Amino acid sequence: MKKSAKVTRRNPKRLTGLVCLLLFGLHLTSGLCQSAQVDITALTQETQKLSQKADEMTMVWWIPEEFWAVSAAQNPAATEADVQELLKTLRPYTVVVAVDGQIGSFGGITYTSEAAMRASMQLVDDQGNTYRPLNAQDIDPDTQSFLSMMRPVLSNMLGPVGQNMHFFVFPGKAKSGKQIADAKKEGAFSLRMEGKEFKWRLPLGSLLPPKTCPVDGEKLNGAWKFCPWHGAKLE
């Protein structure tokens, strides 16, 4: 009853407005991305994981709160209140988008159903603890509404692939109380699905200032500690 009352009080136009902010962010040109403090293209690439097998069309995308914040903030019409409202809705969770399919001999794709993906999916924290996707009754109604509005966005942008991409919501905090996936702190987590495992090492370099190799002055990934070519500690 408490959750239902919350949905009733929420202004649907406000929620729709937040979706519009994300639409803007998802359609940014490369020029706009490069002019921002955070390169949203690099952030997206760093948070997406793809299957390396030629006969699989599998993609898992962990969407950290920084992505939502940067996407919304790119819109000049967005206010700080808009961004904070968005983050408040999503922050308690670890949100993953996934699509899985088998590519046939002639390029046709047979997609795995949402139910089948959900049945095999597990989020694994850095201590080896596992978490299953939350059921609808365990997710805040505002969060459910927001993600439901985002699904048609994926379908319109990506066609059949987008139509078979599904949102999965996991707890935001580990059993220890620590955040499972903190994009700016050292750590790691992984996602298992359909016999495959995808791992993220943290922090994300796209969210950090680049570091400099003291040997040749090259700017390198902000999450790296040492130059991979010279072995020198980055500055």
* Residues 194 and 218 both lie in one domain: no
Tens-digit pLDDT profile for residues 24-79 = 444 433 333 333 477 888 888 899 999 878 898 899 999 999 988 887 777 777 77
- Residues 230, 141 within the same domain: no
Are 118 and 230 members of one domain?
Answer: no
Q: Quick one: average pLDDT of 81-109?
A: 90
- Let me know whether 174 and 224 are in one domain: no
Domain tally, the chain: 2
Q: Is residue 203's pLDDT more than 60? A: yes
Residues 169, 134: Cα–Cα separation, whole Å? 6
pLDDT tens for residues 136-153? Answer: 999 999 999 888 888 887
Average pLDDT rounded to a whole number, residues 85-106: 91
- 156 and 64 in a common domain: yes
In this structure, the answer to whether residues 172 and 191 fall within a common structural domain is yes
Check residue 223 and give its pLDDT: 79
Enumerate residues 6+ apart whose C-beta is below 8 A from 57.
Answer: 51, 99, 100, 101, 102, 103, 109, 161
Same domain, 161 and 226: no
Q: How many Å from the N-terminal Cα to the C-terminal Cα in the chain?
A: 55
Residue-range definition of the domain harbouring residue 230 = 207-235
In this structure, are 135 and 225 located in the same domain? no
Same domain, 128 and 235: no
Instruction: Please indicate, yes or no, whether residues 102 and 214 belong to a single structural domain of this protein.
Output: no
In a shared domain, residues 193 and 215: no
Do 49 and 157 lie in one domain? The reply is yes
Q: What is the pTM of this model?
A: 0.80
Buried b or exposed e, range 142-177, using 16+ CB within 10 angstroms? bbbbbbebbeeebeeeeeebbebbbbbbbbbebeee
Is 16 a residue whose pLDDT tops 70?
Answer: no
Q: What is the CB neighbour count within 10 angstroms for residue 235?
A: 9
